[in-house]
Amino acid sequence: MKKIFLIAAGLSLGVATTSCSLEKFPETMYAENNTSGTGDSETAINTRELLEGQLTAMYNYMKGDLQTYWYQLTTLAEARADNAYGGNMAETKVVSVESNHIDSDNEFASNLWNYSMNAVDYANQVICNIDLVKENDPSLTDKEYQEWLSEALCWRAYIWMNMMQLFGEIPMLTEIPPAINAGNVEEVYPLYFPARVSKQTVGEQIVKDIEEYACKYAPDMDASNKFRITKGFAYGLMARFYSMREFRDWSKVVSACEAVEGMGYSLCDKYGDLWAYTTGDTGMAAMNTRESIFEVQWTSQTSGSWMWMMFHRNAYVPGDSFSWAKWCTPSRNLTKAYDAEGDTERKNASVVYDECGWSYHYPSDEYAFMHKFPTNVTPVYLMRLAEIRLLHAEALANMDDPGGAADIVDEIRGRAGIGKLTAAQRASADLMREAVLHERRLELAMEGFRWFDLMRYGDDYSKLFEICDGVNIKGSASYDSYFQTRRAMNDNRVLMPVPTSVLEDNTNIEQNLGY
C-alpha cells in the first residue's frame, strides 16, 4: 500500500470536476499537498477554514515550486523560436531546446509535465472538496463557493491549455482516487495511472468550467490585488482557448476580448512601467498595475523569487549568483526587429547589456540579457491587457477586418512611441495578420508567447517551420548566424516528448509520434 501511494505521489496526478466529493472518494493521500482522511474525520477537508487553506496552497504553489515551470516555459517559448538563444552552452538540456533536439530524458519535458500535474492537483483539492464543505459548514457563503470554485477551475484550465500546446493529448481524470486496497486495484488503477484523452474532451471540460461557470461567478477585478484569479482572467482564458486551432472560433475570441476590455483595465502610460522598481533595502517592483489582469507576486525582498538568477541579476543584490552563464539570451534577430522600428521603449525593457564572465553569444564586456525579471520581487505576468488587445486584433484580422485590427495595433505601437501601420497593411487581411504577429513579438518578447503564437498562426505549421528553420537560412527573415544549427522542424517535432519517467511509471500512456 505504501509503495503504491509513493508512486502516485511522485506522479502527482490532478483529478476532479465540480461534481466530485470526498463522500465518494474519502482518501486523498495520493499527493503530498492533500489533506487526508474520511469525510467524518478531523483531517478531511470539510470546513471553510480547511478549504481556504487549500486555496491558499494553490496560490502559494504558483510563487513557490512552480518557479521552475515559469522559467523553463519562458525559455522554451523564446529559444525554440527566434527571440532567444538557449543561453548556457554548457548545459545540454538548454542546448537541445535551441537546436530542436529535445528528447524524453530532457529536464524541460519532465519538469513541464510534472509541474503541470502538480499544479492541477492543487486546483483539484478545492474543486473536489468544496461540495462537502458546503454541506458541512454553513459559514461558507454562496459567494465564496462560487468565487473559490471559479478560481480553481480557471487555474486548472490555464494549466491544461498550456499542457495541450506542449504535449498534445493529456491525462484528465475527473475523480479523486480512493485508497488502493486488494479489493479495488483493478478499478482504481486507471485513476492513478490514466491514459491521455483527446483535446476535444479536455476542451469540452474547459468550456463547461470556464465559459459556462467561471466567467459568471469568478471574482470581479480588484485593482488592489492582481494576484487573484478574476473574471478578467476567465474571459481572457476563453479568448486564448478559441484562438487555438483545435477550438478556433474568431467571433468568440472577439466577444471574450471585448468582455475583458470592458472591465476597467487600461494600458500603463509607459511600457517600462510594468517592470519598474524602486531602489533600496525596502524597494519593491511594480505590482497591481492597471494593465495587469493576473500576476504572480512576491511582496518582500527577503522572501522573493529566485527566477531572476536564470536570466540576469537581482538589482537589489547584483553580485549574487552571477558566476555562471544565464538562459534565454536575447537574439540579435530580436534586437534588430526592435531597431528596425526605432522601438527603444520595448527593447530597453526586454533586453539589457552587461559585463559577464562568458562570451557564448556576445562579447563578455557587452553581453545581452533577458531583462523582464530585473529583481527578486518582479511579478510574473500571466495575463495583461496588451496581450488581450493584440489577440483581439488577431481575431479581427482573421475575420477580414484589417482596419479594425490596425486600430488596436496602432494603439499598442503608440504606447511604445513608434509609428502607425501603413495604408497597405490596413487594407489587407493577409498583411494585417503578419503585422499582428510581428507586434506580438515586440510587445510580448521574453514573456513566453512567441512559440505558441507561431504554433497557432494560420491553418497549419508552415509559419512556425519558416521562422524556426529560417534562423539557419541566409536571407530569411529570422536568419541569425549565432543560432545553433537546428534539426529541421516537422509535424512530429512541434510537440514535446512525453517524459521517460512518465512512460515507465504509467503503461497507459504512449509516446508522441516522432520520439
So what's the pLDDT on residue 164?
A: 98
pLDDT in tens, 245-291: 999 999 999 999 999 999 999 999 999 999 999 999 999 999 999 99
- The answer to whether residues 189 and 27 touch, using CB atoms and an 8 Å cutoff, is no
Same CATH fold assignment for domains 1-197+463-515 and 265-448: yes
d(CA 466, CA 192): 41
Q: What is the mean pLDDT of residues 124-142?
A: 97
Indicate the pLDDT class of residue 161, thresholds 50, 70 and 90.
Answer: very high
Closest CA to 361 of 71, 78, 86: 86
So what's the pLDDT on residue 190?
A: 85
- The answer to whether residues 130 and 179 touch, using CB atoms and an 8 Å cutoff, is no
d(CA 252, CA 196): 27
Q: What percent of the chain has pLDDT over 90?
A: 87
CATH says 265-448 is which class?
A: mainly alpha
So what's the pLDDT on residue 18?
A: 37
So what's the pLDDT on residue 44?
A: 82
As beta bridge partners, residue 15 has 173
Asked if the model's pLDDT at residue 448 lies above 60, the reply is yes
How would DSSP label each residue in 201-224? HHHHHHIIIIIIIIHHHSPPP-TT
Question: What letter would DSSP give residue 323?
Answer: S
CATH of 1-197+463-515, one of 3.40.50.2300, 3.40.50.720, 1.25.40.390, 3.40.50.1980: 1.25.40.390
Helices (H), 129-180: 130-136, 142-167
Residue spans of the domains in the chain: they are 1-197+463-515, 265-448
- Grid cell locating 160: 491544461
Contacts 24+ apart (CB under 8 A), 277-280: 277/315, 277/374, 277/375, 277/377, 277/378, 279/315, 279/316
Q: What is the CA radius of gyration of the chain?
A: 23
Indicate the pLDDT class of residue 498, thresholds 50, 70 and 90.
Answer: very high
pLDDT in tens, 333-386: 999 999 999 999 999 999 999 999 999 999 999 999 999 999 999 999 999 999
